[in-house]
Structure 1
């Protein structure tokens, strides 16, 4: 029998206070609003024209901000400290950045669960293939039920000769998960190191991945309104990581297969094995690091310079927005050559004024649908700018999506009040 899992440490007072700032936003007014009323094609095309045309790119012109990003309901919560391998100082979470479901006071703190290898083996039925719910480059995920009835997900790191990389990702994930808590982020329960086993126990999210839903592997097709809500959830989660966690965190692997959906189709961002955390004391805006991520989502500037910034997550989010609209994967090798890179194909369509042609064929066009498609693709174009300075912050992305949702609901409401002209009484 193994020793009980070591929790992620006790709490210690956080001596320094991180000054309030948006580290990834040079100026909020420098990012054009999707709902500004200007020609969206010309605004967005200027932002990243060098991606698909002339190398001379001009920054978008300043416009007024739209509706400010606000948390609907927030409650402060204590974070935990890091693992014994790399301590992270804990502090009381800023209330503005901590979204909760109203029950955070009754739950254990992240990472506080203590488990033994025997308990894990029993909960997973010796890692039974029948309980496997996911598999990736870094390990396999199992659904498990603990002795007290709690259903969790257990991520089991791969075992191979080169364990140094796996160990680094394991430590990275538990250290990151230990200092975050947000409604749209998968929550850490605990972890265990036993001989050559590296196990992370996290919240179980029952409704599969966003990619599975877009591939229609989960039954009902995701409606466009639901896709917009998912985009907003993910934007909130990444904004929290960049701005409101104890230290800024870059996820580095934002993609549809790392977004889990609850039974009511709320999104939760998962898999922090590649995440990079900036220490407050360094006040760093970028870091030189080995490129990590997933093909099709990788920031081209990061690939070229090895300089990782929060705007690398923004680029990946832009790819995700295109996925939500089109239903396609980022790379489609079986399609014609000009359609294989989905983001490039969609942006060219949008810049020619044919954005609606990128709509997932499972969705029906309408006045409201056409509006949302145009606005989401316009935002995607800004996120996919070739340089970080031309991309909006994630906070700004959230603000824009809130405005799109508001306008979309108004269009739907007006459609309900005014039936098609052929059905009106004359």
Structure 2
């Protein structure tokens, strides 16, 4: 193949005009161009008619001769193809090659050593695979080597210790294994060593790294390091950034680190370090960031440490005790202080925040007492104040009421008292206000109308009183209002029906009276309604039966009267309690079941066939024997009738058996059923087919009670074939779809996972019975003429619902489950456009006991949705699902399919990135969307870009995706994260969400 290609290239370049026009270096570069794909025509200036290539895009020549190529920089040009070392190394004076952020693939040839003058080599953010060439150190002049963000595998060659002039080496975000070779300690010229985020085998930090006395940056984050931190690192006197986070290092922090007087950043978080902070930490006079959180450190926080010019100070989730040194209040640059999850006691320094631009303060889960310092927001930039689970007391300082920058306020589970300042109720950017389990008094101020971003309001277990003001109904984004165990009185304001996003309303154990608002049917997203133990009267509005997602309803111990609403029997309630009210009349038939017996106790006027409900209605004992005779007579007639019918069907079955051998069906149910297999089997005809795939058909079956179910019919034990549009035609995946579907859906319960009612099996056929989704799949609806029905609020709701379903699979299932085929066609929509994740035919349980991720024997998934690393390595984990979900988000924002002829050889992700770079966001947005939502759409779009990052480590977890989507309407500013020594705009601090109620 290569000789043919070479002859082809020679034939192209052999025209007399070309030979006469272009010098030898130009010929080599033009050969390079012919090997590349250039979809954006970025190399259009590479004209073979030019005498030299010095005017070509990305090419720089030496100024002395003006004909000799010295630098090649094609960063961010979207080119694809191999890296031709034999061609580029023909350029004798080439010193710098930069191909950052392209799609250069295949392997890096060992012939790279032929580029003997090379000083700078940057191939980061590409698709290179295979081992690292052991010949690289033969580039004796090489000073800069960056191979970050590729798919290199295997160990780091021992020969890498023979580099003679290398100053920077970055191998971050690859698939390297083995252990970190001690020979790297021989490269004494090194200034930066970045090996983070590689699946190395468990190994120790080589003590030989202490020989790198010129080192300024040592970044070994998430390298599977174990053992002690070697004392020899104290020899790195020029070190400014030491990052050993996300490993399994144990033992104490060596005292030799206190000699690193040039150190600016020290990150040791998420290890198993123990003991006390070493004495002499105050010697680190340049230290700006200290993060030793999530370890097992003990003792007191040294006073001299708090006197350093720290900007970020994180020691959370350790075992520190004693009081917080008062000197920390004098740190002039401190913007982040996180100490939660320790055993600290005493008072917070009185002047904390007085001299520093404090933005994030989290001291939750300690034993602090006394008041909150009134100076916390003196600089006016405080965004998060988290002090839950302490012993704080006193009143909330009035100064916090004017802290307009606040976004999260969590003061719950303390001993605060007094009235909440009116300004705090109305803080405009706060989306979470938690005051639960204190001794607050007074009423909710009308100034709450100004809390436009409030989403979560937790007031339970206080001494709040008075009426709930009408202004609460103005909080359009309110998702949860929990105010139980207080002394609220009066009736619920009519305005609360305007809370269209409300999911939880819990006001039990109060003194509420009056009647329920008539229009509660507007609470379409209400999931939990708890008004127990109040004095509410009147009838329960019939509209309550239309709350399709409601699954918890407790109205017990009130004064409700009238009939039990008939619509309640059609709801899928996990808990129903209407006991101890004044209900009367007959129970709805479907609620007159023994499973609901305790739901209606204490309603003397209520009648139904339930023991304990109608005890007041007794029959005359004297007529008991008459009823007994009647029952016996009717039973005899029924027995006779049943016998005749049985004989008839037995005879018919015997007769039919001569023509057709009917198989026996075995039914396995996963929920309480109101139907049998016969009802299903009788409706499996062609008139009811609503879809088909490679393994069978899908039917809509309307049951006798009027409810519809979807039935997937799978023939035999065939492997699930890839559906239309997936990978290649006729391709197969390795799992039996029926067993995978049953194993997965039979175990899990979640409102955003499609419900599997039961399965029916025979030797030759298998049926899966699901809840029926009225609006079909997201993909079919979005990409059809009906796509206009999906306005932005509906698309946003679908994204949140689907994310919550996937988050449940990844984080709440034990062990976690990876879907492996997330796509818009596998997101189904109910009548209210609520989303359910469906089709678990290729789902896999993640093995958490092995190192790294599990490799599959074949690719599963759909074209356009498959994560890059999955296609190359067949390694599957939750990050693969997150990439696919990111594609779904991009579909929702753009309205485009994941693969479209308009994209050429690109998929949706690459098309979006290219279009965004060249034309801007306005050319991406679905024209059917109302641009009044543009700001919110942009935020969701950015989440989609994060999820589709080519590097798995850059993709947020699904739990984080859910939180970001829920917070999309807030203007939350986030802490910047370090990436290759720089700051990344896409950072969300998971640690700050401990104890979250989201």
Q: Could you tell me the TM-score, scaled by structure 1's length?
A: 0.67
Distance in 2 separating the partners of 1:205 and 1:51? 42
SS at match of 1:359: coil
Distance in 1 separating the partners of 2:917 and 2:815? 38
CA RMSD of aligned residues (A): 3.6
In the other structure, the counterpart of 2:124 is 56
In the other structure, the counterpart of 1:198 is 766
Is 1:390 equivalent to 2:954 in the alignment? yes
In structure 2, which of residues 695, 713, 738 is the aligned counterpart of residue 156 of structure 1? 713
Q: Any conservation in 1 of the 2:675–2:703 contact (CA below 8 Å)?
A: no
In the other structure, the counterpart of 1:381 is 945
Is 1:139 equivalent to 2:703 in the alignment? no
CA positional deviation for 1:153: 0.8
In the other structure, the counterpart of 1:287 is 854
Distance in 2 separating the partners of 1:341 and 1:304? 16
Distance in 1 separating the partners of 2:899 and 2:784? 18
Q: Any conservation in 1 of the 2:755–2:771 contact (CA below 8 Å)?
A: yes
CA positional deviation for 1:223: 0.8
In structure 2, which of residues 886, 910, 915 is the aligned counterpart of residue 344 of structure 1? 910
In structure 1, which of residues 317, 326, 330 is the aligned counterpart of residue 885 of structure 2? 317
Distance in 2 separating the partners of 1:139 and 1:166? 17
In the other structure, the counterpart of 1:301 is 869
Q: Any conservation in 1 of the 2:829–2:835 contact (CA below 8 Å)?
A: yes
Q: Any conservation in 2 of the 1:232–1:401 contact (CA below 8 Å)?
A: yes
CA positional deviation for 1:378: 1.7
Q: Any conservation in 2 of the 1:134–1:141 contact (CA below 8 Å)?
A: yes
Distance in 2 separating the partners of 1:227 and 1:163? 30
Distance in 2 separating the partners of 1:134 and 1:307? 31
Q: Label 1:224 to 1:201 Cα distance change in 2 as closer, same or farther (>3 A).
A: same
In the other structure, the counterpart of 1:259 is 827
CA positional deviation for 1:235: 0.8
Q: Label 1:219 to 1:238 Cα distance change in 2 as closer, same or farther (>3 A).
A: closer
CA positional deviation for 1:398: 1.2
1:18-417 matched pairs, under 5 angstroms: 50=101, 55-57=123-125, 101-102=551-552, 103-105=573-575, 110-111=670-671, 113=673, 118-122=678-682, 124=683, 127-159=684-716, 168-218=736-786, 220-278=788-846, 282=849, 286-289=853-856, 290-333=858-901, 335=902, 337=904, 340-352=906-918, 354-366=920-932, 368-369=933-934, 371-406=935-970
Q: Any conservation in 2 of the 1:100–1:183 contact (CA below 8 Å)?
A: no
SS at match of 2:736: helix
CA positional deviation for 1:132: 1.6
Q: Any conservation in 1 of the 2:720–2:737 contact (CA below 8 Å)?
A: no
SS at match of 2:699: strand
Distance in 2 separating the partners of 1:51 and 1:377? 22
CA positional deviation for 1:55: 4.6
CA positional deviation for 1:160: 7.8
Q: Any conservation in 2 of the 1:252–1:313 contact (CA below 8 Å)?
A: yes
In the other structure, the counterpart of 1:80 is none
* Deviation per residue, 1:370-423 (Å, 9 max, x gap): x23322222222111122112111111111111213469xxxxxxxxxxxxxxx
CA positional deviation for 1:154: 0.6
Distance in 1 separating the partners of 2:550 and 2:844? 24
Distance in 2 separating the partners of 1:156 and 1:284? 38
SS at match of 1:304: helix
Q: Any conservation in 2 of the 1:251–1:274 contact (CA below 8 Å)?
A: yes
CA positional deviation for 1:205: 1.1
Distance in 1 separating the partners of 2:959 and 2:792? 22
Instruction: Give 1 or 2: higher strand fraction.
Output: 2
Provide structure 1 residue ranges, at least 5 long, that are not aligned to the other structure: 1-48, 75-98, 409-426
SS at match of 1:198: strand
Q: Any conservation in 2 of the 1:317–1:383 contact (CA below 8 Å)?
A: yes
Q: Any conservation in 2 of the 1:224–1:363 contact (CA below 8 Å)?
A: yes
In the other structure, the counterpart of 1:90 is none
Distance in 1 separating the partners of 2:862 and 2:942? 23
Distance in 2 separating the partners of 1:303 and 1:163? 19
SS at match of 1:322: helix
* Deviation per residue, 1:342-363 (Å, 9 max, x gap): 2211122334571221111222
Provide structure 2 residue ranges, at least 5 long, that are not aligned to the other structure: 1-99, 105-121, 126-147, 149-171, 174-311, 313-335, 337-359, 361-383, 385-406, 409-431, 433-454, 457-478, 481-502, 505-548, 553-572, 577-594, 596-668, 722-732, 973-998
Q: Label 1:246 to 1:161 Cα distance change in 2 as closer, same or farther (>3 A).
A: closer
CA positional deviation for 1:365: 2.8
Greater RCO, 1 or 2 (C-alpha within 8 Å, sep 6+): 1
SS at match of 1:389: helix
Q: Label 1:149 to 1:225 Cα distance change in 2 as closer, same or farther (>3 A).
A: closer
How many residue pairs were aligned? Answer: 327
Distance in 1 separating the partners of 2:824 and 2:741? 19
SS at match of 1:272: coil
Q: Any conservation in 1 of the 2:758–2:768 contact (CA below 8 Å)?
A: yes
SS at match of 1:405: coil
